[in-house]
Amino acid sequence: MPARIRNVNLLPPTEFEMSFGGRFLKWAVTTGRYIIILTELVVILAFLSRFKLDYELSVLSSKIEGKVSLLEANSPIEREFKSKQARLEAVKKILTKRISASETMDSIAVKTPPEVKLTEMTINGNEVEIDANSFSEKEMGEMIAALDGDKRWSSVEISSITQGTEKVIKFRLNLKR
């Protein structure tokens, strides 16, 4: 059977080592060593991670530069595209108004009796101004009544009536939506 190994301390413990201050000092020195070693490991890891982070930064910077140059190269095309898009919007608005104007003219033409001749029509947004000639008051009244009965118009007003030559009645109507 092997013999037990004993620790032999040839220096007897001093009174300071046995006191609270001595034991605290011994603990602080031993624990301090471990804290210093741990701190050095953290510093070394931070130093080494710096190389990795620098590499990632350079890769990302080069990617960004590539994308910036691509965007700058496509900038004239994008400006031209936006310009054409704005033109298309303007044309779309004009065509929408034109369709609205043709519908308005068609609806007025349907309500106009054959003896009434339209001489001028002005369409301005939600208002329409009509100049017309009629040979009889009856036909003029029928047209006004038909337009007044149309739900598209909120008001139908006669702005002027004059007697022309050869029994022609000239009148002007204002229609509002």
Q: Which two tokens stand for residue 136?
A: 């009889």
User: What gap in Å lies between CA 143 and CA 171, rounded to an integer?
Assistant: 11
Domains of the chain from N-terminus onward: 15-107 (no CATH), 112-176 (3.30.1360.100)
Residues 6+ apart with CB under 8 A from 154: 176, 177
Q: Provide the pLDDT for residue 64.
A: 94
Find the helix packing angle between 137-149 and 20-111, rounded to 10°. 160
- Look up the pTM and report it: 0.45
Q: Provide the pLDDT for residue 98.
A: 63
Per-run averaged pLDDT (10 residues), the chain, 177 residues: 75 81 88 92 95 94 92 90 94 74 79 83 81 84 83 81 80 84
Give φ, ψ of 124 to 5 degrees. -135, 95
Q: Provide the pLDDT for residue 46.
A: 95
